Amino acid sequence: MKWLAALVSCVLLSAPVLASEITPAERRDHSFDAAIPACSDAMVLSDISWRFQTREGRFWNSDLTIVGFENIRETAWRPWGLEHLPRRFCSGTVLVSDGYKRKIEFSVRDGLGFLGTGWGTEWCVAGLDRHYAYAPQCKQAAP
């Protein structure tokens, strides 16, 4: 009986691992179209500015706003492969209304819009991540 168990173990361990075929997110039942705007698209930057101002005023009783964006660049496109949700990672610098320039890390993702339709943004401004969701210094907002 021991030799049978050893034989079965050897067969199972020596059998090649069957890799599943990669199905891009665009071809699933709930498909994504991967039509995500560029990092420097005016709609993306406007969305981040508006949501930043809303969050600061509503949750932190602050009147801080984003005055401008500089050096916005893409850092990664679909860094984890085709089978994952389409996302574009970006970074740059923002000028905040308190006069300081701060690093910003953000992503534009398919399926994060209103009720899961369209694209949406997730972002972090270094030094103003007051609930430490992307700590330390927005590192967790990058790929």
The alpha carbons of the chain give a radius of gyration, in whole angstroms, of 22
Which neighbouring-strand residues pair with 73? 91
Share in percent of the chain as helix, strand, coil (round to 5): 30, 25, 45
pTM (predicted TM-score): 0.76
Q: Domain limits of the chain?
A: 23-141
Taking the chain (143 residues) in runs of 10, the rounded mean pLDDT of each run is 58 53 60 81 96 95 96 92 85 97 94 74 93 90 89
